[in-house]
Structure 1
Amino acid sequence: MAEWRQFGPIAVLFDAITSATSSPQNRELFLRLQEADAKHRKEPFKPRELVKPVKTRWNSYYDCFDRACELHTALDAYMQLKIEEYQVAAATRRKEPREQPRKFIQEGGMHAKDWATITEYKQLLKPFKEATMLLQGRGASSSHSAIWEVLITFEWLLAQLKSQKERLQSIDYEDPNAPEDHLKTNVNNAHAKLSEYYDKLRDSPIYFAATILHPTYKYTLEDLWKVPDDHNEDIEGPHPFKDWLEQGYQSFSRLWRSHKDKVAAKASRPSSSEGAARPHKRQRVGRALGRDDFLRSSIKAGQKQVASTMDDEYDIWKREAPLAEDDPLARHPINYWLVTRSRYPVLSQLALDIYSIPAASADCERIFSELGDLLSVRRLNMKPELLSALQSIRSWRRIGLKAKHPTNS
């Protein structure tokens, strides 16, 4: 595998991209080859830049393969020109050069089999780009980058890899134009690694809770994690999802119980205004309860009633039919729980607390970077309060909020 990475089609492609972007002259040559290809196909010329992969960028490899496949005709022409240049120079050179030629020159460019391999990797990486863009985006009303999407997205990715594994099994690798057979090994490794990360998500009850508290997908995991009735554990071994549902609901029950205990304790705790002495006011003899005392006692009684009945909130809500996927609230569970707050005051608070957690830290890291941009050399004395206010205004403008300016009467 190490040798393949050094001399295989991906290494050859990366080397060709590095060469084509290494100097202004090579960039200009590659643009001319793009223009010639567009003219040959009688299409309008739209110059495109090659994408160099970066290890720290999640989707740069997919972007690299996608752009290379789009420009493969011009890239093949570029490699062929450079190979011919090297051959002419080598024929007129008296001594052997000290440096070895570039990899794509040594390999004679890229062939149909190599491009088939690149195309396969592009197809394999496409779902991962879609998933990362979905989970790392800045969500509006919990429609993207929402924590309830994490488990479902992992399930979808695992299904995609399983489908690719089955498809790659049927390829005739003896065909000279077929992709290389190590793809099967790499897909198996990817499936194993993704399953390993997926299993770690069960260490936290939040992902499970976020999914089962979704008004549309409350029963999705019961379907995805169900052990088939025809599974024979004695012959096939333990099912990968054995006990997942039971353990998930157990962890959620602990979370739900802890949340209810906090609400009950808060409801039974006397407020500071009730427990504090009032030295400057004397209670008048024979006077009925004041309005404030009356309202306070009513609120306290209501809280006690909620605490006594909230044991049934989740069970009652779970028995409700899921929302249809085309329901306006189906893609916005935060709005849903705000609407149903009066019916499920305790459960809705737990759901809103969970849905306030972003699915990934990417958006938070962007905010840190934006704050760093604000702190230029001339602004190092800015106070944290001002930075917070500026970033808040920037975030509000980004989502379309506008300040109301007072009118002069």
Structure 2
Amino acid sequence: MSLLSFTAQWIDSQFNLQHATLQAQNFRGSHTADRVREAIEGMLNSWGIDKPRVHVILRDNARNMVKAMDDLEVKSVGCVSHTLQLAVHEGLLSQRSVIDALATARKIVGHFKHSPLAYSRLEDIQKDLKMDVKRLQQDVQVRWNSSLYMLQSILEQKRALSVYAADYSLPATLTANQWTLMEKTAEVLAPFEELKRDVSNPTASAADVIPAITALKRVLSREKTTDQGVRTMKSTLLEAVETRFAEVEEEPLYSIATLVDPRYKDRFFTKSDNMRLATDNLILEVAKIERAASEEPEAAEPMRKTPRQEASSSLGSVLDEILEENQLEARSVSTSADVQVQTYLSEKTRPRKSNPLHYWKDNSSRFPSLAAVATRFLCAPCTSVDSERLFSAVSNVLDEKRNRLSPDRVEILIFLKKKLHLIVKPESESE
């Protein structure tokens, strides 16, 4: 059963991050860009969401999804986690020596996964060696972090596996060079795992992307070890990351979101040109908010007649008058927006563990237009992990014992599972 999920995320008037799974639609047939566009457009229409109200759509990096969003004429960005997967695979996991070591490790783990007797023998050895009894982890080849978990579990049980191999047979054995290679690979991939955990956090937003990538590049560029193998791995991974995330600082969604996050502001841009461009874009966004606010009529104050002025007979003078009025208005809005942005950026950053939305709730009166921009840009997530978790939930609803559920019924059950806490209030709240 193929699914196309549709979720919404926004920041409410109280500066709380809200999230709603709206649909998990059955998607049969060919997944062409046209069919994806039609399906998403139908979802937007069914929920009464106009396309101008869509700030950005987070999608995976498949070409059909990219084209579908372009044809739909909505702003979209790719999943950071998926981009990271491509960078790790290109920079490290595609190397022949690493592929061979992972294949051997996969055979060893598979041996214990398919043999309860082998696992019981390994557990006895772990107890005799005073080690924690742990099971080996199998990897999924399309997820690099699962390969890291497999390597870490095997390295942790190196002594136990060596004792086991002396008494019993294994389908494959790791050479000394492969053990060393696995240790180096796990060491180099550890910062990537930390980054993935950070950006996959439910509270993570588009503001976390540029700081995380900047920090990762610095870790990879540091030469803290004299081991040539580790340095080579880091350099190839750094090249892959720089290629895959080459335009991340130029993307307005990420750059403006980073600026309006009080934990980061303009401290994590690697190029001064990108920082100036991001600041200019932020000022433009604030100016739009202020211009829209100034054009709204004030219902509370009655309209007053303006004094009648003597009409000018010169068309040129009238044109100059209109031009001067518009220039003064634009300069006033631009100056106000610039003051807000520069005052905000000049203040100290907040602790990294703090919640940026709490800052904007407390300072919305100081920077009203800037706070409005922050609510738009800080609501966008940076990964599609939530959709993947949704697909995992579907496997718990539709299984071998409930294999005749219709797609519509499955969608209803998933909707209730994800939104039951919003539909049914706790007893303490209902009283």
TM-score range, shorter chain: 0.5 to 0.7
> 1:30 touches 1:75 (CA, 8 Å); kept in 2?
no
- 1:199 corresponds to which of 213, 229, 246: 246
Who is 1:96 aligned against? none
> 1:146 touches 1:358 (CA, 8 Å); kept in 2?
yes
- 1:121 corresponds to which of 181, 185, 198: 185
Q: Match for 1:212: what amino acid?
A: L
Task: Name the SS of the counterpart of 2:192 in structure 1.
Answer: helix
Higher mean C-alpha displacement, 363-372 vs 383-392: 383-392
What's the CA shift string for 1:228-259, capped at 9, x where partnerless?
A: xxxxxxxxxxxxxxxx2223322442343145
Who is 1:47 aligned against? 133
- 1:362 corresponds to which of 344, 365, 385: 385
* 1:72 corresponds to 2:162: no
Q: Match for 1:354: what amino acid?
A: F
Who is 1:245 aligned against? 272
1:163-182 to 2 correspondence within 5 Å? 163=222, 165-167=223-225, 170-171=226-227, 182=229
Q: CA deviation at 1:390?
A: 5.2
Who is 1:314 aligned against? 341
> 2:127 touches 2:133 (CA, 8 Å); kept in 1?
no
What's the CA shift string for 1:255-280, capped at 9, x where partnerless?
A: 43145225413531448xxxxxxxxx
Mapped partners of 1:204, 1:341: distance in 2: 25
Q: Match for 1:362: what amino acid?
A: V
Higher strand share: 2
Mapped partners of 2:373, 2:180: distance in 1: 50
Change (3 A) 1:389 1:117: closer
Mapped partners of 2:110, 2:370: distance in 1: 56
> 1:151 touches 1:211 (CA, 8 Å); kept in 2?
yes
Mapped partners of 2:117, 2:302: distance in 1: 78
1:4-403 to 2 correspondence within 5 Å? 4-5=97-98, 8-21=100-113, 23-24=114-115, 27-39=116-128, 41=129, 43=130, 46-83=132-169, 102=171, 104=172, 109-139=173-203, 145-163=204-222, 165-167=223-225, 170-171=226-227, 182-221=229-268, 225=270, 244-270=271-297, 293-294=299-300, 309-323=336-350, 325=351, 331-367=354-390, 369-370=392-393, 377-378=404-405, 380-381=407-408, 388=415, 391-394=418-421, 402=426
What's the CA shift string for 1:351-393, capped at 9, x where partnerless?
A: 1211111121212442455468667744655598996565333
Mapped partners of 2:417, 2:303: distance in 1: 43
Gaps of 5+ in 2: 1-93, 305-328
What's the CA shift string for 1:73-122, capped at 9, x where partnerless?
A: 22223333455x9xxxxxxxxxxxxxxxx5x2xxxx33444322211111
Change (3 A) 1:17 1:373: closer
Q: Match for 1:189: what amino acid?
A: T
Q: CA deviation at 1:198?
A: 2.7
Mapped partners of 2:280, 2:189: distance in 1: 37
Mapped partners of 1:387, 1:297: distance in 2: 53
Aligned length: 308
Mapped partners of 1:296, 1:32: distance in 2: 87
Who is 2:73 aligned against? none
Change (3 A) 1:386 1:344: farther
Ranked by relative contact order (alpha carbons within 8 Å, sequence separation 6 or more), the top structure is: 2
Identity %: 17
Gaps of 5+ in 1: 86-101, 140-144, 172-180, 226-243, 272-292, 299-303
Q: CA deviation at 1:131?
A: 1.1
Q: Match for 1:342: what amino acid?
A: S
Mapped partners of 1:216, 1:2: distance in 2: 38
RMSD: 3.7
> 1:218 touches 1:322 (CA, 8 Å); kept in 2?
yes
Mapped partners of 1:345, 1:116: distance in 2: 56
Mapped partners of 1:363, 1:123: distance in 2: 28
